[in-house]
Amino acid sequence: MNWVINNLGLIWSLTLDHVALAVPPIILGFIISIPIGWVANRFHASRGVLLTISGLLYTVPSLPLFIALPAILGTGILDPINVVVGLTIYAVALMVRSVADALAAVDAGVRQAATAMGYSAWQRFWRVEFPLAGPVLLAGLRVVSVSTVSLVSIGSVIGVSSLGYLFLNGLQRNIIEEVASGIVATLLIAVVFDLLLVLAGRVLLPWAKADPTAKRAWRKTVETAIAGASAGGSVVDDPAVSDPSMAGR
């Protein structure tokens, strides 16, 4: 514990760096995925292509990507932007599928009712389909959050400050406490982010608690999203085929 107590300042400042690098990709990934996921869901022909591309993006190894990005973006090799852009790409890779699935899961009857009442297409999307996709979107976002928080550490290899530094430095100097503190701090960030997301869900989606269908859709998507993420995002099958609940859509 001595090492930890003597280096609390360092751990704290690296934690802040880590958080600062993790938050923008999660938010940007979410925003960017909405139109892409919408297109994938809206135009049947585009669905397979977009989901395959985004699935493949997730399989691009992160270290070469972080090294290649400065050349592509014209940024400095140590610029944190590289990490943010790289992680945003991974976030989009994971999230596009969630958005497409979330929108597909919105009940067709509800969508028709909204049309019948006189929502314009734009109003219907933002006031009906998007909020109703909320539980599944949130499930996807939770996976993206965990994935992003853990991937930020790789940035330390190319010299962008994060908790990954403790891991690298601790291994080099053989200080096991340093390595462990890096891992624990990363886990804590992931847990805190997850709690914040769940809390946001409670506040923004109060109806979902009361709605058994929403709950079911949510649980299901967490499962597929986690399976997808752990398989390196290479799960790109068409859910309309494998998921009986979407039959007759």
Partner 1 sequence: MIEFRTVTKKFPDGTVAVDELSLVLPARQTTVLVGSSGSGKTTILRMINRMVEKTSGDIEIDGEDIHALNPVKLRRSIGYVMQNSGLLPHRKVIDNVTTVPVLNGVKKAEAREAALTLLDTVGLDRSLAERYPSQLSGGQQQRVGVARGLAADPNILLMDEPFGAVDPIVRSELQQELIRIQRDLGKTIVFVTHDIDEAFLLGDQVVLLEKGGRIAQQGTPAEILSKPASDFVATFIGADRGRRALRVEVVNGRNVVVDEDGRPTGVLQS
Which residues form the interface with partner 1 (CB under 8 A)? 107, 109-110, 112-120, 123, 128, 131-132, 134, 205, 207-208, 210-214
The answer to whether residues 44 and 229 touch, using CB atoms and an 8 Å cutoff, is no
Tokens of 46: 């585009």
Which of residues 113 and 188 has its CB atom nearest to partner 1 in the complex? 113
Q: Give 234's contacts (C-beta < 8 A, 6+ positions apart).
A: 55, 56, 58, 59
Q: How far is the CB of 122 from partner 1 (least distance, A)?
A: 10
Which of residues 3 and 130 has its CB atom nearest to partner 1 in the complex? 130
Q: Give 160's contacts (C-beta < 8 A, 6+ positions apart).
A: 21, 78, 79, 80, 82, 83
Minimal CA–CA distance to 89: which of 51, 58, 52, 66?
Answer: 58
Angle, helix 80-104 to helix 130-151, in steps of 10 degrees? 150
The answer to whether residues 26 and 88 touch, using CB atoms and an 8 Å cutoff, is no
Q: How far is the CB of 134 from partner 1 (least distance, A)?
A: 8
Q: How far is the CB of 10 from partner 1 (least distance, A)?
A: 46
Supply angle C-alpha 187, 148, 214, rounded to 5: 90
Which of residues 14 and 132 has its CB atom nearest to partner 1 in the complex? 132
Which of residues 160 and 208 has its CB atom nearest to partner 1 in the complex? 208
Q: How far is the CB of 211 from partner 1 (least distance, A)?
A: 4
Which of residues 80 and 134 has its CB atom nearest to partner 1 in the complex? 134
How many C-beta atoms surround the C-beta of residue 184 within 10 A? Answer: 14
Q: How far is the CB of 132 from partner 1 (least distance, A)?
A: 6
Which of residues 118 and 248 has its CB atom nearest to partner 1 in the complex? 118
**Residue 61 DSSP label:** -
In the block, which residue shows the tokens 């999660």? Answer: 26
